[in-house]
Structure 1
């Protein structure tokens, strides 16, 4: 923002660039960074007690993470191939709308507070329980060391690949709308910040405020959700899946840059969809607290 302010004499015009370039990169980077934070949190919980005598188990966990990364790349190319085939045989707008609906559904699940209560108490506890069982069985003569190491690698693999699949699903919609270059730079930026946190956590042994970081990125992800819902509703209008009811009184108050950056359009359908998404996320928070 500072760079744009200086180069554009304090009044940057987002419409001067290609549609969605910088805005899309930021949205994608937030998505990738938040999923990366969750992965780091799970891995740090798994490796927290692996000190001294159990230090050798960290390597198979790291190897599992590496395999999870490769599997995520394979999943990406498979998903791209499926979506491209569907685009050739169907109307591109239909495919774009369908992939967008899938991405929003997954994002609504990720943003749901009930899901997170189950996630933190179930998913992480399951990994920790599995880790303890593997360490306890390591001294059993009937169980080979290779089996224990494979189990540790599997923990690292599932911790990474679960987040990787979510990112792959999210990005299919963005790839169709914004192109591969925008997705690439957004993922690169998100991985850069994730890498910094990973280095501080696993190499620098720094105890970071993960809860606050997840809350902050959660708020940012909420904004991304509203943007995605607005874009999706507009795409469904273009595909004639939804009617388009313009609100004349709001037309003058919604310039083009608001549609570019925040997907705010003066129609009943897009604004209603964004309001419903916000109610679902905020409502799940208050219900989960009760």
Structure 2
């Protein structure tokens, strides 16, 4: 059952945190009236992921192998692009910190409204499809009740963590909030880009070049369970869900991760220094 809890937690963690950050951002900038756009995105994603999961199961006999790899790669790549846009947008909003009270009446334009909707949608959609298909597969297993309950417990933990981010951010100064959330989103996006490359490599769309450049994953326990620091263990799964942690990356994955992280952090630090001068 622990494995099911971890799967549910990992699948829902990223989406919960991103949604929590988006809602916190809207509150911090006194634009709660746009919360409905986020909620509509979440609801649309839940409906779309349910339909997509059933269609994938019906058309291709499930969500395995090549279809899973290509789907994962595309959706992770799209999510990383949208997150990158949101990071740039949020960093740009730092310039209004000192004049925020005088600019509350400013509305988001239609593109930004769509950006809110699409980011909410894509964050929940990818995780929703995978979770629904996992639950469908679990229903045929001998311990299906435990699997189902475990996934639901994991999802509940992840949503609760996102809620804590949402509530806790109300007590954080807006400048500090922008800094923390921007760095978190940069780490999210870096992991998504690297993982999308991995999925395309698994589907043989992109060459691997060089297999794992190191392997930090501890040996699997004799009973078949994973050590806590293994990428499929308790802590490893948490890091993987948060930042795309990979205990044994190949060369191209590592290059993509470092390049994106370095580039975005350089942009972020440069912008902060410019606004402070």
TM-score, normalised with respect to structure 2 = 0.55
Map 1:96-245 onto structure 2 (within 5 A): 97-108=66-77, 110=79, 116=84, 118-122=85-89, 125=92, 135=105, 159=116, 162-177=119-134, 184-202=152-170, 205-207=171-173, 209-210=176-177, 211-212=179-180, 215=183
Does the CA contact (< 8 Å) of 1:32 and 1:167 recur in 2? yes
Q: 1:38 to 1:66 in 2, by over 3 A?
A: same
Larger CA Rg, structure 1 vs 2? 1
User: Following the alignment from structure 1 to structure 2, what is the Cα–Cα distance between the partners of residues 286 and 216?
Assistant: 14
**Distance in structure 2 (CA, Å) of the matches to 1:277 and 1:107:** 14
CA distance in 1, matches of 2:156, 2:27: 22
C-alpha displacement of 1:35 = 1.0
Equivalent residue number for residue 39 of structure 1: 22
1:39 Cα shift?
Answer: 0.7
Secondary structure, aligned partner of 2:105? helix
- Provide the secondary structure at the position in 2 that maps to 1:120: helix
Q: Deviations over 1:2-46 (max 9, x none)?
A: xxxxxxxxxxxxxxx46x313213313431243124313531453
CA deviation after TM superposition for structure 1 residue 169, in Å: 1.7
Report the 3-state secondary structure (helix = DSSP H, G, I; strand = E; otherwise coil) of the residue aligned with 1:92: coil
Distance (whole Å) between structure 1 residues aligned to residue 78 and residue 48 of structure 2: 23
Q: How far 1:71 moved relative to its partner?
A: 4.2
CA distance in 2, matches of 1:220, 1:122: 16
CA 1:221 to 1:119, structure 2 compared with 1: closer, same or farther past 3 Å?
closer
Residue deviations 1:124-182 (CA, integer Å, cap 9, x gap) = 758x99x999937xxxxxxxxxxx8xx79997785355223322123322432355655
State the partner residue of 2:252.
276
Residue number in structure 2 paired with 1:285: 261
Alignment of 1:83-98 (within 5 A): 83-94=53-64, 97-98=66-67
Structure 1: how far apart are the matches of 2:165 and 2:154? Answer: 17
Using a 3 Å threshold, how does the CA distance of structure 1 residues 89 and 156 change in structure 2: closer, same or farther? closer
CA contact (8 A) 2:37 2:116 kept: no
Distance 1:72 1:154, change over 3 A: farther
Q: TM-score, normalised by structure 1?
A: 0.53
Partners of 1:228 and 1:263 within 8 A in 2: no
Q: Which runs of 5+ in 2 are unaligned?
A: 137-147, 212-217, 234-245, 268-277
CA RMSD of aligned residues (A): 5.1
Higher helix share: 1
Q: Relative to 1, partners in 2 of residues 1:134 and 1:283: Cα closer, same or farther, differing over 3 Å?
A: closer
Report Cα offsets for 1:57-84 as digits up to 9, x if no partner: x5xx33x413531442233222221221
Distance (whole Å) between structure 2 residues aligned to residue 106 and residue 259 of structure 1: 29
